[in-house]
Copies of this chain bind each other. A is one copy, B any other.
Amino acid sequence: MERSLGELAELLRGELQGDAGVRVCGVAGIKEARPGDLAFYADRRFEPWLASTQASALIIPIDATFDRLPAIRVADPRAAFLRAAALLHEDGRPLAPGVHPTALVGAGTKLGEGVAVAPHVVLGADCVIGDRVTILPGAVIGDGVVIGPDSLIYPHAVVWKGSRLGARVIVHSGAVVGDDGFGFLTREGRHVKVPQRGHVVLEDDVEIGANTCVDRATTGVTLVERGTRIDNLVQVAHNVRIGPDSILCAQVGIAGSTSVGRRVTLAGQAGVTGHIEIGDEAMVGAQGGVTKSVPAGQQVSGYPATPHARARRMYAALRHLPELVREVRRLGERLRRLEERGRGAS
List A residues at the B interface (Cβ < 8 Å): 26-29, 31-34, 37, 78-79, 81-82, 85, 88-89, 102, 104, 118-120, 122, 136-138, 140, 154-156, 158, 160, 170, 172-174, 176, 179-180, 182-185, 187, 189-195, 197, 207, 209-211, 213, 215, 217-220, 227, 229, 231-233, 235, 237, 239, 245, 247, 249-251, 253, 255, 257, 263, 268-269, 271, 273, 275, 286-287, 289, 291, 302-304, 306, 310, 313-315, 317-322, 324-325, 327-328, 331-332, 334-335, 338-339, 341-342, 345-346
Kindly list 4 other residue pairs between chains A and B, CB separation below 8 angstroms, not including A173-B176, A182-B209.
A31-B257, A79-B187, A172-B180, A174-B211
Known contacts A232-B215, A318-B321, A319-B314; is-contact A158 B179 (Cβ 8 Å)? no
Kindly report how many copies of this chain are found in the complex they form together: 3
Alpha-carbon separation in the docked complex, A115 to B120 (Å): 21
Residues in chain B near residue A286, CB distance under 8 A:
255, 271, 273, 289, 291
A269 CB contact (under 8 Å) in B78, B220, B271: B271
B85 touches A195 (CB 8 A): yes
Known contacts A195-B27, A253-B269; is-contact A220 B187 (Cβ 8 Å)? no
Alpha-carbon separation in the docked complex, A154 to B196 (Å): 15
> What are the nearest 7 A-B pairs in CB distance?
A28-B219, A122-B137, A140-B155, A235-B250, A176-B210, A313-B322, A317-B321
Residues in chain B near residue A78, CB distance under 8 A:
185, 187
**Could you tell me the distance in whole angstroms from the C-beta of A259 to the nearest C-beta in chain B?**
13
**Could you tell me the distance in whole angstroms from the C-beta of A45 to the nearest C-beta in chain B?**
13
Alpha-carbon separation in the docked complex, A253 to B233 (Å): 10
Q: List 20 A-B contacts (CB under 8 A).
A: A26-B219, A27-B195, A31-B257, A78-B185, A79-B187, A104-B120, A120-B138, A122-B137, A138-B140, A154-B158, A172-B180, A179-B209, A193-B229, A213-B233, A273-B286, A302-B303, A310-B319, A313-B321, A318-B321, A345-B345
Alpha-carbon separation in the docked complex, A250 to B257 (Å): 14
A303 CB contact (under 8 Å) in B158, B239, B287: B287
Known contacts A81-B185, A251-B251, A314-B318; is-contact A26 B195 (Cβ 8 Å)? yes
Q: Which residue of B lies closest to A334 (CB)?
A: B335
